[in-house]
């Protein structure tokens, strides 16, 4: 009996060459994947090396953090006339350093509400807050929000220059992380509140409370605390001595933020607004007496210890005689200056005991600070009058 013949369809036949080709393709893909993986690992290594190098560089160029314990500042010098009226002030005004427990409880809440609402939940840098600020600024078409945390602001204010650059931002971030590791949240906030600039030459909430409300930060009311916190955004623009209306508007904004943050109730905020606050009248200096004030400041080293402490100097200047002297110089120069080709003049009025009662060093201190009464090398001659 004949054996049956089996026919294979051409499609069923195994082609050795095709099998080898498929194997080669799989091997090639594996090799490409391995090569890509090696390149990726190498790239990551290089990125890591460069990143570590940059971090090392920025770490080496960080300022000395021991500055945190030193309150470097210009001492404040207040110069008064004989009647106690203010002539001028020099230097910076610092208040008494206060702990959070010592200052009004509204002050820390007002600052956190308006500057860094997530202060107690972030690690020194707030990615969420930064993202929110970026979107808000893009939507507005200009800068309306900042992305820096209170910790970053403290790092910048204490250790860094005002320069704006990528390297400064990296250093600011590194210092913020260091501060968060070194201090508690309350300590960071306390240092910030005692060191931050709040306009009109004041540093710290206690100095600001004295300057703007004639009281210590211990007694600051809700409205007054909101007003002080509002200065942080723009100390000059919202300075109540410069524009009380803008200062009041900014205070209302801070109170609204405190309500949003849950720090005060709506009724408390409304009561604060209705009661308002009594901004202190900032003493007005006497521009014409600046020649005299500068001269006094130059002599202080011979009479008092001008180290790192504030001074108040009561002088012999008579405001009435000073005004008369300024008017006399202006009258003479206005009447005879052009005819005699004279544009400046000087005057010193002294008591028999040598006390200076009035001093005019020039026509306009704003235009020229050169004191012709004390610095001009000219023979007075018959200008001396009894």
Please, what is the end-to-end C-alpha distance for the chain in angstroms?
A: 160
| Phi-psi region at 141: left, alpha or beta (left = phi > 0; alpha = psi -120 to 50) | left
Burial 171-199 (b: 16+ CB within 10 A, else e): bbbbbbbbbbeebebeebbbbbbbbbbbb
Contacts of 316 (CB under 8 A, 6+ apart): 82, 351, 355, 356, 357
State the Cα torsion 19-25-26-31 to the nearest 10°.
150
Q: How far apart are CA 46 and CA 48, in angstroms?
A: 5
The yes-or-no answer on residue 115 being catalytic is yes
Report yes or no: 177 and 154 within 8 Å, Cβ to Cβ: no
The torsion angles phi and psi of 163, rounded to 5 degrees, stand at: -55, 140
List the beta bridge partners of residue 360.
Answer: 347
Q: Of the residues 104, 115, 216, 326, which is catalytic?
A: 115
Report yes or no: 221 and 103 within 8 Å, Cβ to Cβ: no
State the burial class of residue 246 (Cβ atoms within 10 Å of its Cβ: 0-12, 13-18, 19+). middle
Contacts of 49 (CB under 8 A, 6+ apart): none
CB atoms within 10 A of CB 384: 7
Q: How far apart are CA 285 and CA 97, in angstroms?
A: 27
| Phi-psi region at 351: left, alpha or beta (left = phi > 0; alpha = psi -120 to 50) | beta
The yes-or-no answer on residue 148 being catalytic is no
Q: What are the residue numbers of the active site?
A: 115, 382
């Amino acid at each position: 009996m004949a054996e049956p013949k089996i026919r294979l369809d051409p499609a069923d036949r195994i082609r050795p060459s095709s099998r080898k080709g498929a194997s080669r393709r799989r091997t090639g893909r594996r090799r490409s994947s391995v090569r890509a993986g090696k390149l990726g690992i190498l790239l990551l290594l290089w990125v890591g090396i460069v990143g570590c190098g940059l971090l090392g560089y920025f770490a080496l160029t960080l300022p000395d953090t021991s500055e945190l314990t030193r309150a470097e500042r210009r001492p404040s010098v207040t110069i008064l006339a004989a009647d106690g009226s203010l002539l001028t002030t020099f230097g910076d005004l610092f208040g008494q350093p206060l702990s959070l427990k010592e200052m009004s409880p509204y002050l820390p809440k007002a600052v956190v509400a308006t500057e860094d609402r997530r202060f107690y939940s972030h690690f020194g840098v707030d990615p969420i807050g930064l993202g929110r600020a970026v979107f808000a600024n893009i939507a507005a078409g200009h800068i309306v929000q900042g992305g820096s945390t209170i910790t970053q602001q403290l790092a910048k204010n204490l250790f860094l220059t005002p320069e704006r650059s990528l390297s400064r931002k990296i250093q600011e971030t590194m210092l913020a992380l260091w501060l968060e590791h070194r201090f508690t949240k309350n300590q960071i906030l306390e240092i910030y509140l005692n060191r931050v600039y709040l306009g009109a030459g004041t540093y710290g909430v206690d100095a600001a409370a004295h300057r703007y409300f004639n009281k210590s930060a211990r007694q600051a009311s809700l409205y007054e605390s909101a007003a002080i916190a509002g200065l942080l955004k723009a100390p000059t623009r919202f300075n109540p001595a410069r524009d009380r209306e803008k200062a009041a508007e900014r205070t209302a904004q801070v109170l609204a933020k405190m309500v949003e943050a849950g720090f005060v109730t709506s009724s408390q905020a409304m009561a604060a607004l209705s009661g308002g606050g009594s901004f202190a009248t900032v003493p007005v200096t006497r521009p014409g007496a600046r020649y005299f004030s500068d001269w006094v400041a130059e002599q202080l080293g011979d009479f008092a210890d001008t180290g790192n402490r504030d001074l108040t100097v009561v002088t012999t200047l008579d405001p009435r005689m000073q005004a008369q002297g300024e008017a006399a110089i202006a009258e003479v120069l206005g009447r005879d200056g052009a005819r005699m080709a004279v544009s400046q003049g000087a005057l010193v009025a002294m008591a028999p005991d040598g006390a200076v009662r009035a001093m005019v060093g020039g026509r306009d201190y704003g235009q020229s600070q050169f004191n012709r009464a004390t610095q001009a090398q000219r023979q007075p001659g018959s200008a001396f009058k009894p």
